[in-house]
């Protein structure tokens, strides 16, 4: 099922058992070689500030620290970056790995389409890991994978926010490629580029959600309602600090940037702790200048 109807979606979702692994078995990353801000991406990413000066060495140090932090939880594979693809530090928009397939996204901007063409990454997942390639760049719909599509892996449910970075044709292509049981499509608020800035599903049992990032806040409330007392609602200011761009890398371990973690109030922290989550905050002030945060840096391998 793929629909815009929240009642239809959640009536179906209620029957979906949480019978699949909720968290990845490993992650992949791409190092920020020659880190700079990509002018094309800035045209539809309001989280970028093109007037900011960036320190490539600081970005590299932050990325190494992030790899080290995640290795305490999961294996990490890091591919070298390329100064010609400055957004490559955010690979989860371009590549996704399921138990059977590696998916290549259909990226909106040419600078990101160059990332999708990297043969070394494609060959690692197809030849080394034995996944079958599904190249969504060959179909007409724009779809930037788990930037646009948030997945409750345990239940096989997708939440797809439509914007310049994902249209309805792209949403349908991802629904089929990921093999989801059901996908809910909705419009992001004006100016939002990726759903993973406004929504995260943590280990299949909690939602961190910023209603202001949805064109219709009733959709956000319907999603929050499905996760009941395991939903954490974010303010616009917390969304701007990337608190929604978090990821559960185990049933207990949630990773987010120090900026994002600092924006959470004591009640929100206690709420997550009471539901069995440990927060791991990693400093990323330079990398965040590029308009994404920790979750964007992490590609999942299932």
- Condensed to tens digits (0 to 9), the pLDDT of residues 210-245 reads 999 999 999 999 999 999 999 999 999 999 999 999
Stated as kind and residue range, the H or E segment containing 159 is strand 157-162
CA-to-CA separations, 211 to 16, 194, 198, 224, 232, in angstroms, rounded: 24, 14, 8, 9, 10
For the stretch 21-75, pLDDT in tens is: 999 999 999 999 877 565 545 455 566 565 667 788 999 999 999 999 999 999 9
pLDDT score at 39: 55
- Average pLDDT value for the chain: 94
Residue range 70-93: mean pLDDT, rounded: 92
Identify which has the larger pLDDT, 110 or 121: 121
Order of all β-strands in the sheet with 157-162: 2-3, 182-187, 157-162, 149-152
Angle of helix 217-226 relative to helix 6-13, nearest 10 degrees, comes to 10
pLDDT band at 113 (very low <50, low <70, confident <90, very high): confident
For the stretch 136-192, pLDDT in tens is: 999 999 999 999 999 999 999 999 999 999 999 999 999 999 999 999 999 999 999
C-alpha to C-alpha distance for 221 and 18, rounded to whole angstroms: 21
C-alpha to C-alpha distance for 295 and 197, rounded to whole angstroms: 9
- Output the pTM of the full model: 0.94
pLDDT score at 42: 45
40-44, 124-128, 200-204, 281-285: which has the minimum mean pLDDT? 40-44
Residue 288 reports pLDDT greater than 80: yes
Q: Read out DSSP for 162-226?
A: EBTTB-HHHHHHHHHHHT-SEEEEEEBPTT---GGGTEEEETTTEEEE-GGGBSSHHHHHHHHHH
The architecture CATH gives domain 2-12+20-301: 5-stranded Propeller (3.75)
């Amino acid at each position: 099922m793929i629909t815009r109807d929240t009642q239809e979606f959640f009536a179906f979702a209620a029957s979906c058992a949480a019978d699949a692994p909720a968290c990845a078995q490993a992650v992949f990353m791409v190092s920020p070689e020659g880190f700079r801000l990509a002018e094309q991406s800035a045209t539809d990413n309001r989280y970028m500030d093109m007037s900011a000066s960036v320190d490539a060495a600081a970005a590299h140090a932050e990325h190494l620290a992030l790899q080290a932090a995640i290795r305490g939880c999961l294996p990490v594979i890091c591919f070298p970056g390329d100064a010609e693809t400055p957004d490559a530090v955010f690979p989860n928009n371009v590549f996704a790995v399921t138990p059977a397939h590696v998916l290549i996204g259909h990226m909106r901007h040419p600078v990101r389409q160059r990332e999708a063409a990297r043969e070394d990454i494609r060959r690692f997942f197809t030849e080394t890991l034995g996944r079958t390639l599904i190249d969504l760049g060959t179909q007409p719909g724009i779809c930037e994978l788990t930037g646009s599509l948030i997945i409750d892996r345990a239940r096989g449910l997708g939440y797809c926010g439509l914007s310049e970075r994902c249209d309805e044709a792209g949403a349908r292509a991802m629904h089929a490629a990921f093999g989801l049981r059901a996908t809910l499509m909705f419009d992001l608020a004006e100016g939002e580029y990726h759903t993973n800035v406004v929504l995260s599903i943590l280990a299949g049992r909690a939602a961190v959600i910023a209603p202001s990032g949805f064109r219709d806040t009733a959709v956000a409330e319907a999603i929050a309602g499905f996760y009941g007392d395991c939903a954490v609602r974010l303010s616009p200011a917390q969304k701007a600090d990337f608190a929604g761009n978090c990821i559960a890398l185990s049933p207990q371990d949630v990773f987010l940037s120090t900026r994002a973690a600092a924006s959470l109030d004591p009640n929100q922290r206690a709420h997550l702790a009471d539901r069995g989550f440990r927060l791991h905050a990693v400093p990323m002030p330079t990398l965040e200048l590029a308009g994404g945060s920790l979750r964007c840096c992490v590609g999942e391998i299932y």
